[in-house]
Amino acid sequence: MADAQPVTEEELRRLSEFLYRRTGMIFTETKRYYVQRRITDRMEATGATSFASYFARLRSDAAGEVEQFINAFTVNETYFYREDHQLRCLTQDLLAERVERRPRDRAIRIWSVPCSTGEEPYSIALWLLENWAQVDAYDIEIVGSDIDTRALKAASEGVFGKRALMRLSPELIGRYFEELGDEQWRILDDIRGSVRFTAANLVETAETRPHGQFDVIFCRNVLIYFDDASRRVAAENLYENLAPGGFICLGHTESMSRISPLFEVRRFDDAIVYQRPRAAHG
Amino acid sequence: MPLIRKGGDAPAPTGGDEPAGKLRSTSPDERWAAARALSGRPEALASLTAALATEQDPRVREALLTGLARIGTPQGAAAIVPLIRSDDASLRTGAIDALRVMPAAALAGPLDSLLSDPETDVRILACDLARALPAPQATRLLCGLLAREPEANVCAAAADVLAECGEPDALPALAACAERFVQVPFLVFALRVAGDRIRAQTPVQDG
Amino acid sequence: MAEASSKRVLVVDDASLVRLYYRDALERAGYQVDEALNGLEALEKLHAAPADLLIVDVNMPQMDGFTFLKVLRRQALPVAAIPALVISTEAGAQDREAARQAGGNFYLVKPVSQETLVEYAAMFCGAAP
């Protein structure tokens, strides 16, 4: 039976550094307790008796431990209004900047990649309808893309269970979903018709490029799973898929600082986001 | 219901007909597109290398470096290696970052000679590249360096990597180096921590 | 040693043992220490929490120390004025000049002892008397 000892500050820093180098994951001071817990969980799961032996296992990636650790840390469950601080940032800051001096007839384009079974792109649609005063003034195109075509099929069907809707108020559910019974809800056809779903692999330029340029890209919790070379290519693809001055939102444990110098970091009240510089290059 | 509609495909930027020629375009956007079009293609090695020698735009430079790194061969690595001697710190950084994403097999050759390079800073940067190698190989290379290296800063860079991925046979080399540099407190500290970490990770038989 | 209780130092260096060595000295002298592994991460950290002093290496992944200081110095924010002590392995005159032009306030050549580090930290962010 594993007898896991508490992890020291220095050990925590070493592990954080390793994960940062290897995956681009970043842990702020406020998440320290959470990180401690996850390490202890993984030590127990792997039967490691000391931090050193667990760390050796993680470093050599024995039995895919790096991915296991990321999984333990990243809630891979997707649900409506997840990480809503970024959605707040979208309507409070990002879009205001994107529509400055923009002709009314130029559509705003938003990309959710990977979009899994559709919760994120539909959340963006609902959030804009509910929270953005200028929603009627612009055409808004929302695209959801994923490498997994089964997920895309489910996404375009737009049927969700109770857990996916747990963060939505009954009013919102009533307004945008029809109840199918059996704890299943289908998102209204109007919303369903407003999101386009496509297959795309972020490291395949031939697949990303046809999507054109976006004003805002949501790209959460996927780059951390890539190796360094793929991350570099993905960053260049994402750069191309952003309009100059466009924004990219990563997951809350991800940092572009390990991935690519192509973007500039911007801090808003609700989120840190990355921006393709406005000047074309330089 | 507000105006949300299903849009069509936005026009995709065109790749260009002859990317190698476009690498010399006056437009950074065209040079970027050309660098990306040639990315990872072994036959583009010479054009990417030539473009890198004169490219001033940091983002196009990134794309050129990615392009060479994705070739993934010792020749690709050899094209990047000279840049780590650049006077421009951001170019050195770009070169090392690109080398770091290359397969270990492509790096092994250049790394050997970089670790014996006459320039101190090249040896320091080379130590960090060893981090990507399998642990036994990194240990062997860096211990060889520790035994002969006259510069404290280079030994410290080796200790930093060994602290993460060193194997137990590095311990004598760390100890011997600490004796040589007993007058440099930082290095003594670094070698001690590296040794402690390696010892902590070495399984001890119970009983 | 004087208490520098509320002063915050951000150490920007990709070598973990260098950061550990500086942290050890600075914490014992009463500073709060935060770390970043490269210039880009340092910019992110400064957006989240400012610092009273930056200790900056030159050769780092993703964004080198000079580029970091140049980018920082042109921000229209209070963080742009944080004093920076550049500590590099590069000993040449042109490196010192490059550091000055990038916005470094002082330049030291590695390896730096803990005593020297604390001395300079006190000088730049005015440790409490």
Select from B71, B102, B133 the last residue of a domain.
B102
B127 plus B170 within the same structural domain: yes
B98 plus B133 within the same structural domain: no
> Which residues form the domain of B167?
123-201
Residue B9 lies in a domain: no
Q: How many CB pairs under 8 A join A and B?
A: 96
Chain B interface includes C75 (CB < 8 A): no
Low-confidence residues of chain C: pLDDT under 50: 1-2, 4, 128-129
Per domain, the residue ranges of chain A are 9-73, 84-275
- Contact criterion met (CB < 8 Å) for A240 and B36: yes
B85 plus B131 within the same structural domain: no
pTM comes to: 0.91
Q: Which two tokens stand for residue A218?
A: 């949501």
Q: Which of A10, A14, A255 has its CB closest to that of C44?
A: A255
B25 plus B98 within the same structural domain: yes
Q: What is the overall mean pLDDT for chain A?
A: 92
Of A8-22, A93-107, B155-169, give the lowest mean pLDDT range.
A8-22
* pLDDT at position B10 over 50: no
- Contact criterion met (CB < 8 Å) for B10 and A213: yes
Residue B118, preceding peptide bond in cis (omega within 30° of 0): no
Chain C interface includes A26 (CB < 8 A): yes
Note the ipTM here: 0.91
B94 plus B136 within the same structural domain: no
Q: Which of B89, B185, B193 has its CB closest to that of C20?
A: B193
Gap from A267 CA to chain C (nearest CA, Å): 6
> What is the per-residue pLDDT for A70?
87
DSSP class per residue in chain A: ---PPPPPHHHHHHHHHHHHHHH-B---GGGHHHHHHHHHHHHHHHT-SSHHHHHHHHHTTGGGHHHHHHHHHS-----TTTTHHHHHHIIIIIHHHHHTT--TTSPEEEEESS-TTTHHHHHHHHHHHHH-GGGGTS-EEEEEEES-HHHHHHHHHTEEETGGGTTS-HHHHHHHEEEEETTEEEE-HHHHTTEEEEE--TT-HHHHGGG--EEEEEE-SSGGGS-HHHHHHHHHHHHHTEEEEEEEEE-TTB-GGGT-SSSEEEE-SS-EEEE--SSS--
The domain made up of A84-275 is a member of CATH 3.40.50.10490: no
Q: What is the overall mean pLDDT for chain B?
A: 89
Residue B206 lies in a domain: no
Select from B49, B73, B102 the last residue of a domain.
B102
Residue B116 lies in a domain: no
User: pLDDT by residue (tens digit) across A77-94?
Assistant: 789 999 899 999 999 999
* pLDDT at position A4 over 60: no
Return the CATH fold of A9-73.
Answer: Chemotaxis Receptor Methyltransferase Cher; domain 1 (1.10.155)
Residue B108 pLDDT level (bands cut at 50, 70, 90): confident
User: pLDDT by residue (tens digit) across A34-44?
Assistant: 888 889 999 99
Residue B6 lies in a domain: no
Stretch B56-82: mean pLDDT, rounded? 95
* Domain of residue B48, CATH code: 1.25.10.10
Residue B54 lies in a domain: yes
Residue B136, preceding peptide bond in cis (omega within 30° of 0): no
Please give the Cα distance from A12 to A18 (Å, whole number).
10
Select from B102, B134, B157 the last residue of a domain.
B102
User: pLDDT by residue (tens digit) across A220-270?
Assistant: 999 999 999 999 999 999 999 999 999 999 998 899 999 999 999 999 999
Q: What is the CATH number of domain C8-124?
A: 3.40.50.2300
Residue A26 pLDDT level (bands cut at 50, 70, 90): confident
B95 plus B135 within the same structural domain: no
Residue B109 lies in a domain: no
